[in-house]
Amino acid sequence: MIRTATPADVPVIHAMVRELAAYEKALDEARATEQQLHDALFGERPAAFAHIAVDEESGAAVGFALWFLNFSTWRGVHGIYLEDLYVRPEARGGGHGKALLRALARICAERGYERLEWSVLDWNRPSIDFYRALGARPQDEWTVFRLTDGALAELGADGA
């Protein structure tokens, strides 16, 4: 079962974000607090949205998708950028990941969005194979760039 996240889900979303960061060998980079997630998802102007995968027998949250809107100047419409998709190891293979992606694809169809995009680490073969099986295709001609920390501050500094 997939449902829209509520404020009560923030602690479990935060825990799963940290689990995902550990899986991706980057736990030290996962600095978001529960309060920051709450504000981003449920504040005055939400910047992101989330869906929860729930185990139907236990009722426990076993996965989540956290996403936000992007915009294609080429297509002239919004799309969804999937920031995080995570299913706890003990629940993998139960269809939760596919159900989360299906829910986002349904939102795209209902709202006229023409893209559902995300990034995946190049060493994460199980996820890559899963996404390919769903019909997703890598955008091999694009390279992701990122500014953070000191480089971002330096570029944004006055007079720089």
Residues that are catalytic: 131
- H/E stretch holding 23 reads helix 10-23
CA distance 158 to 160: 6
Amino acid at site 50 = A
Q: What is the CA radius of gyration of the chain?
A: 17
Matching residue, tokens 């102007």: 45
CA distance 13 to 20: 10
Dihedrals φ, ψ of 148, to 5°? -145, 170
How is residue 95 annotated by DSSP?
A: S
Contact 63, 100 (CB under 8 A): yes
